[in-house]
Amino acid sequence: MSAANREAVGLDRDRVARYLRERLGADSLEVTQLRRNVGGMSRETWFVEVSGTRGTAAFTDALTFRVDHPEGSVVPVDLEREYRVFAALTPTEVPVAEALWYETDESLIGRAPFYVRRTVPGSASAGRLFAPGNEEARRRIGRHLAERMAAVHTLDWRAAGLGEFMAVPERPEDCALLELDHYERAYRAADPEPMPVVEALFSWLKRNVPTEVERVSLVWGDVGVGNFIYRDDRVVALTDWEQSHLGDPMKDWASALWRG
């Protein structure tokens, strides 16, 4: 069994089953698979597959739990904000996993807060995508990813409610300055003793922010292989929205060019 398919350490299958039986309104429910994703650093991702009954009807479901590491998240974005991004995007044309609910009661599974979304079938594997002989499939997926990114950048973010919890740039230079301020505050909270090279970097970036921005849009913020799910040469879901914000969409295209 691969590392990606090992049982999730520290999760009690029966406890998760009891919680989901109540939450999903099932008469009976069994957790048929419980595993923790070994990829990703910002938070823990747990995959839970269940089968059960409601009355005489049988059902199956595949869910994804997102929760901070016990020692806290390594990204300066709280978990509820991440959930709100998924919840706001679920009814739109931007392809994301369906957000189901946010939970704050630690007594339920022994960890909180966490949120649950529906698992999207497919693969996020970079190894499979870049395997020899997959060049044509890679080109098709790349073109489709560009279309998906265009959907992100043309989304009516006001109608989606994203401006209710994301900072809204008022001037073109705010697109960069707001993000710089966000990460500078996180840096100073993590390491209050100044590092000259980092201080110089922040200073240079502030002096050289773009002053011309075509439009403010939703920015995915973490474009790259491994951060989207593909199936049958099509991108079926964009993941990893921790760095999303309102700003200049060119940031996403620059990131795609830089990361390849």
Residue 246 shares a structural domain with residue 223: yes
pLDDT band of residue 219 (cuts 50, 70, 90) is very high
Q: Residues 106-156: pLDDT tens digits?
A: 999 988 899 999 999 999 988 888 889 889 999 999 999 999 999 999 999
Residue 73 shares a structural domain with residue 30: yes
pTM of the complete model beyond 0.85: yes
- Residue 73 in this model has a pLDDT that exceeds 50: yes
Residue 247 shares a structural domain with residue 168: yes
Mean pLDDT of 214-225: 95
Residue 171 shares a structural domain with residue 200: yes
Domains of the chain: total? 2
DSSP per position, 205-238: HHHT--S--S--EEE----STTSEEEETTEEEEE
Residue 147 shares a structural domain with residue 239: yes
Residue 39 shares a structural domain with residue 136: no
Residue 104 shares a structural domain with residue 45: yes
Residue 80 shares a structural domain with residue 183: no
- Cα distance between residue 69 and residue 45, in whole Å: 10
Mean pLDDT of 7-34: 89
- Which of 76, 91, 118 is the last residue in one of the domains? 118
Residue 249 shares a structural domain with residue 160: yes
CATH of the domain at 165: 3.90.1200.10
Range of the domain at 175: 126-259
Distant-in-sequence, close-in-space partners of 71: CB < 8 Å, separation ≥ 6 = none
Q: Residues 157-192: pLDDT tens digits?
A: 999 999 999 999 999 999 999 999 998 998 888 877
Residue 197 shares a structural domain with residue 242: yes
Position 191 scores a pLDDT of 79
Residue 85 shares a structural domain with residue 181: no
DSSP H or E run through 150 = helix 135-154
Residue 220 shares a structural domain with residue 176: yes
- Which of 83, 118, 153 is the last residue in one of the domains? 118
- Which of 64, 87, 118 is the last residue in one of the domains? 118
- Cα distance between residue 83 and residue 240, in whole Å: 11
- Residue 3 in this model has a pLDDT that exceeds 60: no
CATH of the domain at 102: 3.30.200.20
